[in-house]
Amino acid sequence: MTDPSPAALPATITYPAAERLDLVEHLHGHPVADPYRWLEDPADPRTIEWSADQDTLTRGWLDVLPGRAALGERLAELMRTGSVGTPVWRAGRAFYTRRGPDQDYPVLYVLEDGVERVLLDVTVLDPSGRTTLDRWSPSLEGTRLAYQVSVGGDEHSLLHVLDVVTGDLVEGPIDRCRYSPVGWLPGGDEFFYVRRIDPDLVPEDERQFHRRVWRHRVGADPATDVNVHGDDLDHTYYYGLSVTDDGRWLLVNGAPGTVRRDSVWIADLHGSGDLRPVITVEQGAQCSAWIEDDRLYLRTSLDAPRFRLCVADPTRPTEWTELVPEQPDSVLDGATWLDGTLVLLRTRHAVSELHLHDPVTGEHRGEIPLPGTGSLHGWSTVDERTEADRDVLWFGFSDFVTPLSVYRYSLSDNETVLHAAAPGAVELPPVTTQQISYESLDGTTVRMFVVSGEQHPDLPRPTLLTGYGGFAVGRGPGYSATTLAWVEAGGVWVHASLRGGDEEGEEWHQAGMRDRKQNVFDDFHAAAGKLVADGWTTPQQLSIMGGSNGGLLVGAALTQRPELYAAVVCSAPLLDMVRYENFLLGRLWAEEYGSAAVPEELAWLLSYSPYHRVRHDVEYPSVLFTVFESDSRVDPNHARKMCAALQHATASDPTKHPVLLRRETEVGHAGRSVSRSVGLAVDQLTFLAGVTGLEFV
């Protein structure tokens, strides 16, 4: 490992004292030590004092790292591109978000008769910058808007309804609506939505769960809402829903927690209104459903791990006919209706493609030209109440050098043109991008995106490797200010498409979960080995970064192969895999990881649980944990305990390879302002750069 620039770094470091408990539990025959159990309690005076001391230590190190000012200015400039969202059409009105070059958050606009006006700006609602817009949905007539906001990063969304014409608040807030879908009925007086039941009616440790589908009349007391669905299902169920534009059909989908197995129900609201099953979670498949032209379309992984498209009569919803079969070399990610034609979204090795198909026969009709090799971010067509542009598809698009912009494709012209560019003009650095294949430990072919200043390795360079590898979440090419700033300074940025994601379909996901989780880490180590072998970097110049499940990834990487990585940023991580189910949303993830309550599954977890794999007198890399105190998904106690364990165990010189914990308050797991994003990225990248020899000037 190389040494960070001496600049003004502390000459000595003394880690805050952390009492080590002689706590060993015997679980299913395994002795499991937990010396820092007390750090699970944020209100414990010892935790409060220890955290404050860590704050002082971390700021004393990070604030004097070289290049901070230059990097902060460049990141802010690269984020001045802003962004623009795909329009949603309602009766001739277009609703969309746009973030200008100097704005911290996107603003929601409405366009009518060529006139644009601001509909909702969270910085006006809350000048403190603590409020985020979580979700929004206009009524079918475009006269009302349901929107949800949360405060301080807690993601506990509050639902409101406003009048689109006047901007006046019609009702709200309705609480307990975390990221609720909204399905409007014609007329704009009623909608279906998802809300947790009264927390006083459930055990305290289940208050984040127990969702139900409700029917609500605008202006009525939510306590009088009709409970439509959910009473007889597991308390961890999450729900999605949609209503057809004619108000006849209600579709509800759901799954317990984050499992990739769906139930779908359909109800004829012009008939009995009873929800009938289309597919059940016991069938073990993913499924999304919608109705178009009196046909029920189903995108499903049933008997097709890369997904296929089926159709049915909505009055006989379990009698499916295959319309477009599974393809062996791409994943079917979505479908939509465009003026009598089906448009299918496919990803081929994480790169987006759009294909045209006959809606009756499923026959392939052609491919929609895309602006480049990149990723789609939402799409839309006009609704039945909008007269113009019936053959136009709008879609968001980005790649490594294209900020999120909106394009439009005309079916009649077979032409794709830019509709709305990102609003900020920014000079971008010259970079090359490519996708490289490599072989993992068991011979599986894995791919990674490499962004660099040179097409081929010219000399070993400071390299930042990242990945995720879980929950069927994939990542394709996309614009990132942090990526461009790192490469512009002379580094190499790499994202590996690890097993556990969805880049190659559901089998790819399942190959990286439960008892096969080690495949994810092996894929990551193999990516690092490939980068070193090909001359892109060296272990002394190789840093890694990951967040959430990606934090687990890099936590496992640094404990399994500490000699392979020089520096690590581990953000909002899962690290104690024995007790993760006890905190926040942890119980939802047992399907993905396994449960410590099951003897066989505890053995899987202990085999890689980073907190339990820390060993004394090992030279660990430099490590920066970044956590967010309002995180409502992953408890910060994971990072606290792991930080204390590494500070106690590492044999590395702390003045050269420190273990640090960076905390933020009033920010959560996901949404944050641009300015706070810049501050976090400056701390993370200068920390990695200081170890690997990259200079921001």
Q: Which residue, among 349, 263, 363, 258, has the nearest Cα to 309 in the 3D structure? A: 363
b/e per residue 235-271 (b: at least 16 CB within 10 A):
bbbbbbbbbbeebbbbbbbbbbbbbbbbbbbbbebee
Q: How far is CA 460 from CA 456, 538, 539, 568, in A?
A: 11, 6, 10, 19
Contacts of 461 (CB under 8 A, 6+ apart): 452, 490, 491, 492, 536, 537, 541
Which residues have C-beta within 8 Å of that of residue 235, sequence separation ≥ 6?
A: 202, 206, 209, 210
Taken in order 486, 487, 490, 493, the sign of the CA dihedral is: positive
Under DSSP, is residue 239 helix (H, G, I), strand (E, B) or coil? Answer: strand
Length of the chain, in residues: 697
Residues 447, 349 contacting (CB under 8 angstroms): yes
Enclosing H/E stretch for 466: strand 463-466
Q: Which one of the listed residues 548, 609, 622, 673 is annotated catalytic?
A: 548
Instruction: Determine contact, residues 501/472, Cβ cutoff 8 Å.
Output: yes
What is the DSSP pairing of strand 492-497 with strand 463-466? parallel
Separation CA 690–CA 65 (nearest Å) = 7
Q: Which helix (H) or strand (E) holds 484?
A: helix 481-488
Residue 28 annotated to the active site: no
Inter-CA distances, 96 with 93, 161, 422, 478, Å:
10, 17, 13, 20
Find out whether the peptide bond into 181 is cis, omega within 30 degrees of 0. no
Q: Does the active-site annotation cover 669? A: yes
Rg, Å, the chain Cα set: 25
Q: 309 with 298: CB under 8 angstroms?
A: yes
Q: Which residue's entry shows tokens 């059940």?
A: 280
Q: Can you read off the two tokens belonging to residue 462?
A: 């400071």
Closest CA to 585 of 527, 648, 633: 633
The sign of the torsion formed by the CA atoms of 681, 687, 693, 697 equals positive
Out of 160, 509, 525, 669, pick the active-site residue.
669
**Residue 1, CA distances (Å) to 4, 90, 178, 462, 526 in order:** 9, 58, 45, 12, 19
* CB proximity list for 213: less than 8 A, separation 6 or greater: 192, 193, 194, 227, 228, 229, 230, 239, 241, 252
Residue 234: other Cβ atoms inside 10 A: 13
The three-class DSSP label of residue 22 is coil
Concatenating the DSSP letter of every residue in 555-589 gives HHHHHH-GGG-SEEEEES----TTTGGGSTTGGGG
Report the catalytic residues: 548, 669
